[in-house]
Amino acid sequence: MQPLVFLALAAALHRVSGQALSAADVSTVTADLAEGAKLSWELGTRAQSLLELYVPDFSVFSSTALPPPTSVPSNTTSAIAPVFSIAHNVVSALKNTTAQPEALVNGDGAAGDPASIGVAVLLANWTGQGAADGLDYAAAARNQLDYLLDVVPRTSDGAISHRAAQVQLWSDSVYMVPPFLAYYGVLTGNTTLINEAYNQIKLYRNYLRDPKTDNLWKHILLGNDTSDSANDEGHWSTGNGWAAAGMLRVLATMKNSPYSKTFSNQQKDLASWVKEIHTAMFANLDSTNIFTNYADQPINTTGMFYDTASTSLLASTVYRVSLLWNDHSHLPNAEKCRQALFASGPSGTSSSSSPSSAPASATSPAASPSATVAPLTDLSHFTNDGWLTPVVNPHQFGIQGQDSPEGQAFVLSLQAAYSEWVAGGSVGANAGRRTVTSTTAGWVWLGSAMLGGILAFA
């Protein structure tokens, strides 16, 4: 079948069923992400979401055993190409890949964020990309590891700081660092590293979990240098999402590896800590089914706004925990969020008139989206250009922004997890809500999304 026929079919199903993204919609979101992701963690998050949606066999969530295949099948090369291109660009920009502790990219003061690109670099090494482009991916990954383990400051009990210039713990770090440590450990057969991924999460949870709010995680603690970065004791919704998603990536890396039995207790802990965040977060969801930027602060709080980015990320983790761990407790909540996020209606416009301000060190913002991508005109939480809205400013977490690259990545992660859940029979959905038709639509969607994604990069 021609790709265009697939796209048309998916679009038709979209209009009939509502509350779903068509393959064309997803291609537009993917293209926006490609254009917008510039900073360290945006590149790492983009790579991860592309693997989840377009190259599931090479994602840690695949039930096919880790480590992944050492060569890329010919029918997968174009889908994985953007991931390798992130790794290639990062590693080719490194001046010196002889042995020395060194982050993969400039983290703008963050010690943890550059490690988010580590999985893409390890995958490039593992599948022999260096033979084609002459780059030493293994050395770059090694240097990134040594930087984290030997250079970055730590708390007295060993938690690796998220900042380079002071000891400061951010919930964000759980997505950036432990998944890299665990993946490195599995690919090199180093169980100490796999355990360290778990240990770091455990330490971060000890500091950031707030029993006073029924276990929401605080955002940023322990810093003492506001000229570097101030603390944020608020319960930032995206931070809770980063923590849950990072824990699930480590859980999946353990579970799908040869070391699953060795780490069975750690997996149980991780699953229960993800559920703990879900229980805390969903208790704060109001009738819009979109989280506020700080989940426990109602929308009428001064300066508060709704944030579809964190809502997408958290919903994605609910489908993931259902697929990975057969825990379906929060699926009705995730379904409500997903339906709100993908609801039909006039295309959304961002209510913020000023564009997101990037940090001084950031490269200039991307130009307007390419004219070749299809406009989204019928989804209320997406602009015509395909950007999720409303969203927190991804470079200034207290205020509303526009055009969030990480938000686009979270949509892809949500689409990936949701589609797999539908393809697997929507296990755990409320009785009577799922039908055979929606399952079929999910399968068709999956096929067309693959082609749509490939076209977006052609």
Ligand X SMILES: *[C@@H]1O[C@H](CO)[C@@H](O)[C@H](O)[C@H]1NC(C)=O
Under rule CB under 6 A, residue 320 binds ligand X = no
- Cβ-proximal residues to 134 (8 Å cutoff; 6+ apart), any chain: none
| Closest to 143 (Cα-Cα) out of 179, 182, 104, 178 | 104
Nearer to ligand X, 74 or 265 (CB): 74
Q: Smallest distance from the beta carbon of 191 to ligand X, in angstroms?
A: 8
Q: Which stretch binds ligand X (CB under 6 A): 7-15, 121-129, 288-296, 306-314?
A: 121-129
The only residue of 71, 100, 326, 357 in contact with ligand X, by rule CB under 6 A? 100
CB-nearer residue toward ligand X: 191 or 384: 191
Specify the stretch interacting with ligand X by CB under 6 A; choose among 112-120, 138-146, 260-268, 402-410. 138-146
Nearer to ligand X among residue 274 and residue 280 (C-beta): 280
Q: State the residue for tokens 């955002």.
A: 219
Rounded Cα–Cα distance for residues 445 and 452 (Å): 10
Q: Give the distance from CA 255 to its chain's centroid.
A: 19
Q: Is 125 an interacting residue with respect to ligand X (CB under 6 A)? A: yes
Q: Is 13 in the site for ligand X (CB under 6 A)?
A: no
Two tokens, residue 255: 């579970």
Judged by CB under 6 A, which of 7, 51, 115, 187 binds ligand X?
Answer: 187
Contact 316, 418 (CB under 8 A): yes
Nearer to ligand X, 100 or 288 (CB): 100
Residue 201, class by beta-carbon neighbours within 10 Å (0-12 exposed, 13-18 middle, 19+ buried)?
A: buried
| Six-digit token string for 333 | 């909540």
Complex with ligand X: residue 98 or 368, whichever CB lies closer: 98
Among 80, 86, 193, 416, binds ligand X (CB under 6 A): 193
Q: State how far the Cα of 458 lies from the Cα of 454, in Å rounded to an integer.
A: 6
Residues in 221-250 that interact with ligand X by CB under 6 A: 224
122 interacts with ligand X by CB under 6 A: yes
Q: Which of 17, 62, 190, 439 binds ligand X (CB under 6 A)?
A: 190
Of 141, 254, 281, 295, the one binding ligand X (CB under 6 A) is 141
Q: How many residues bind ligand X (CB under 6 A)?
A: 26
129 lines the binding site for ligand X (CB under 6 A): no
Smallest distance, ligand X to C-beta of residue 225, A: 6
* 142 forms part of the interface with ligand X (CB under 6 A): yes
Closer by beta carbon to ligand X, 170 or else 273? 170
DSSP 126-175: HTTHHHHH---HHHHHHHHHHIIIIIS-B-TT-PBPSBSSS--EETTHHH
Binding residue (CB under 6 A) for ligand X from 1, 2, 75, 364: 75
Can you tell me the distance from the alpha carbon of 107 to that of 344, in angstroms, rounded to the nearest whole number?
A: 38
* From 184-192, 201-209, 365-373, 435-443, span contacting ligand X (CB under 6 A): 184-192
Nearer to ligand X, 126 or 387 (CB): 126
What count of other Cβ atoms lies within 10 Å of the Cβ of residue 245? 24
Please select the residue that binds ligand X; options are 300, 363, 364, 368, rule is CB under 6 A.
300
* Inter-CA distances, 198 with 89, 194, 267, 319, 364, Å: 30, 7, 9, 22, 37
Q: What are phi and psi of 326, to 5 degrees?
A: 55, 30
Between CA 286 and CA 282 the distance in angstroms is 9
Q: Least distance in Å: CB of 403 to ligand X?
A: 29
Between 187 and 416, whose beta carbon lies closer to ligand X?
Answer: 187
Decide whether 286 or 345 has the Cβ nearer to ligand X: 286
Which ranges of 283-398 would DSSP assign to H, the alpha helix? Answer: 308-325, 331-341
- Within its chain, how far is the Cα of 2 from the centroid? 31
What is the rounded distance in angstroms from the CA atom of residue 12 to the CA atom of residue 348?
Answer: 21
Site for ligand X contains 167 (CB under 6 A):
yes
CB of 193 to ligand X, least distance (A): 5
> Quick one: which segment of 22-30, 141-149, 409-417, 434-442 binds ligand X (CB under 6 A)?
141-149
Residue pair 83/123 in contact (Cβ under 8 Å)? The answer is yes
Tell me the per-residue interface mask from 80 to 99 with ligand X, x by CB under 6 A, - otherwise: ----------------x-x-
Encoded amino acid at 393, one letter: N
Query: What contacts 44, CB < 8 A, 6 or more positions away?
Result: 113, 114, 115, 116, 117, 118, 119, 120, 176
Where do contacts with ligand X occur on this chain (CB under 6 A)? 70, 73, 75-76, 96, 98, 100, 122, 125-126, 138, 141-142, 145, 149, 153, 166-167, 187-188, 190, 192-193, 224, 298, 300
